[in-house]
Structure 1
Amino acid sequence: MLNTLKISFFQIRTKIHFSITDGKPITNFEVVSRYFRLNNGLWIHAKPKRRSRVWKKTEFSNISRHEHVFTSEEKCIMLDKLVDKEWKERRHFINDEYSEYHKWDNLPKYKYLKKVDKFYP
């Protein structure tokens, strides 16, 4: 019997590039330019389409388009794979705008936690 290949039409961005000289993984600089990694392991990014059709949007959406959004658990793991060890280290900035978000308080703690099945009695 012939084995049929399963073709996936979904985008998969888990390709890790390696340097020719060292053989170490290279950072994907598109990730670094679009996302910001917090010290607790979460990633944030700006809202999509925040610059398009501003004249058409309401006043509330124009105000809220400057806000940042947390990424999901799966996306955090994927972005950590695409980034080098250098970008995962803690960074200390003077007058950091995100200093309140670097802590674990009142944030979801899903950094690489094993998924536990729900217990049904």
Structure 2
Amino acid sequence: MAVPCLSMFYRQSLMPGLNALMSLQSRNIYYDRNTCRPHSHPEVLKRYFRLRWGGWIRARPGFKRHLWKKPFWLRSWAIQHVFVKDKEREMLEKMISADYKRSRYFIDDIYEPYHRRTDIDICPPGQRKVCKSYIRSIESLN
């Protein structure tokens, strides 16, 4: 009668813990060797664009692939940019340095309509969103 190896029992007992550890995502923080300050993740700068109000946009996945066999309406849909979700936005904010978060102004910026979050210039203090009652009160003043 063969005796089972003890390492097999250890492997089976550790599997649930290992699976939990394997599912956790880790992000690399890049540091400059000379100044010892963190700098931005290069993949974030390549794939995403940060708007002045803190939002992030990205291109649709696969928008450059197989354009010859996509219909015209799907080609125009594929070149559109989409906003990222809040969880992803928080992760991206941690992966870039403070230097990249500064507002930059360019001549003939194609993203200029998206840099303003709403049609209203000023949001109420302490709020991220503008409620409809606030909009009505501003319209009544005009």
Q: TM-score range by the shorter chain?
A: 0.7 to 0.9
Equivalent pairs counted in the alignment come to 107
- Equivalent residue letter for 2:91: M
Q: State TM-score, norm by structure 2.
A: 0.65
User: Is the radius of gyration larger for structure 1 or structure 2?
Assistant: 2
Which residue does 1:96 correspond to in 2?
109
CA distance in 1, matches of 2:38, 2:99: 11
- Equivalent residue letter for 1:70: F
What SS is found at the alignment partner of 2:112? coil
2:69 paired with 1:52: no
Deviates more, 1:76-85 or 1:21-30: 21-30
- Equivalent residue letter for 1:78: M
CA distance in 2, matches of 1:11, 1:61: 35
> How many percent identity over aligned positions?
29
Question: How far apart are residue 71 of structure 1 and its match?
Answer: 0.7
Which residue does 1:23 correspond to in 2?
36
CA distance in 2, matches of 1:14, 1:41: 20
Per residue, is there more helix in 1 or in 2? 2
CA distance in 1, matches of 2:34, 2:56: 30
Question: How far apart are residue 64 of structure 1 and its match?
Answer: 1.4
Q: 2:56 aligns with which of 43, 62, 65?
A: 43
1:1-121 superposed matches below 5 A: 5-7=17-19, 8-10=21-23, 12-105=25-118, 109=128
Q: Deviations over 1:41-82 (max 9, x none)?
A: 111111110111222222210111111111111111111111
Structure of higher RCO (CA pairs closer than 8 Å, 6+ residues apart):
1
Question: How far apart are residue 27 of structure 1 and its match?
Answer: 1.0
Q: Give 5+ residue unaligned stretches, structure 2.
A: 1-9, 120-127, 130-142
